[in-house]
């Protein structure tokens, strides 16, 4: 599955979804890896660059790579000092041992060949590798009701894909199959925080938008108003808990 966004969707992703969720993830990832001054860093499937931007404040040179040019256009506009490059996670366009640190956040579940992508990360790394992904849907209380509603009206895989590598045993197995050693495996619980349920659904239903009719989407939204009510506070703001796995490793 290739998660592609249009230019307007990429802008929406950066202005809405990154501060709601992925900025906190990025900080957690960078704090765990602790890139040092002078270390070269590659952010694989970087999206609009949340991780690479933080890495560039501590280390350098930093490269952000993504398949989606719309995402990279947003990243370039925000941080032109980072080298943003279009490319495939399964065929990284770099020589072996090119980077001290190789990172990837919220992307492994979307690549065509997960083992190959991890193997490529190992190939171009001469040091640390870190991958952060959504954990188990069953342990993500804020997303279970959303996924259940979508599954009743559309393809269950549309949102289930987010959690496709959420099983710890599956994730560890992917690292092992790719020839990577796991040094640390941390599971933590974050939350997607947005000012309203309407904004939350606008973000999370992006993969559904062109797969269902407007009438079906409206039924999904109506049911989610009830199903998601436990995660909406009196002001209308949403905090939807989600499990996250952070894996630190190196090439075996």
pLDDT in tens, 98-143: 999 999 999 999 999 999 999 999 999 999 999 999 999 999 999 9
Domain 7-251 top-level CATH class: alpha beta
Could you state, in order of their start, the residue ranges of all structural domains in the chain?
7-251
Encode pLDDT of 43-58 as tens digits. 999 999 999 999 999 9
> Which of 63, 132, 118 minimizes the C-alpha distance to 252?
118
What is the separation, in whole angstroms, between the first and last Cα of the chain?
28
pLDDT digits (tens, 9 = 90+) for 141-174: 999 999 999 998 887 777 788 999 999 999 999 9
Is the separation of the CB atoms in 42 and 99 below 8 Å?
A: yes
Element (H, E) at 19: none
CA 12, 162, 233, 219 torsion-angle sign: positive
Strand partners, 249: 129, 182
Distance CA 24, CA 50 (A): 9
Contacts of 30 (CB under 8 A, 6+ apart): 51, 54, 55, 58
Contact (CB, 8 A) for 126 and 94: no
117 phi/psi in degrees, rounded to 5: -60, -45
Phi (first) and psi of residue 246, to 5 degrees: -120, 120
- On whether the CB atoms of residues 143 and 160 are closer than 8 A, the answer is no
């Amino acid at each position: 599955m290739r998660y592609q966004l249009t230019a307007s969707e990429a802008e929406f992703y950066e202005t809405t979804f990154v501060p709601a969720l992925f900025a906190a993830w990025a900080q957690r990832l960078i704090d765990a890896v602790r890139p040092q001054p002078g270390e070269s860093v590659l952010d694989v499937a970087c999206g609009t660059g949340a991780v690479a931007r933080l890495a560039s404040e501590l280390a350098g040179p930093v490269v952000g790579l993504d398949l989606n040019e719309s995402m990279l256009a947003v990243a370039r506009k925000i941080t032109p000092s980072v080298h943003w490059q279009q490319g495939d996670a399964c065929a990284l366009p770099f020589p072996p041992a090119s980077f001290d640190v190789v990172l990837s956040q919220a992307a492994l579940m979307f690549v065509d060949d997960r083992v190959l992508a991890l193997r490529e990360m190992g190939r171009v790394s001469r040091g640390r590798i870190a991958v952060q992904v959504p954990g188990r849907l069953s342990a993500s209380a804020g997303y279970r009701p959303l996924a259940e509603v979508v599954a009743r009206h559309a393809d269950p895989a549309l949102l289930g894909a987010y959690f496709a590598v959420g099983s710890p045993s599956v994730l560890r197995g992917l690292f092992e199959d790719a020839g990577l050693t796991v040094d640390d495996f941390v599971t933590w619980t974050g939350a997607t925080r947005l000012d309203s349920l309407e904004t939350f659904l606008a973000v999370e239903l992006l993969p559904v938008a062109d797969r269902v009719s407007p009438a079906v989407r409206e039924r999904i939204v109506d049911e989610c108003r009830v199903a998601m009510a436990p995660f909406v506070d009196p002001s209308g703001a949403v905090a939807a808990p989600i499990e996250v796995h952070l894996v630190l490793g190196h090439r075996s």
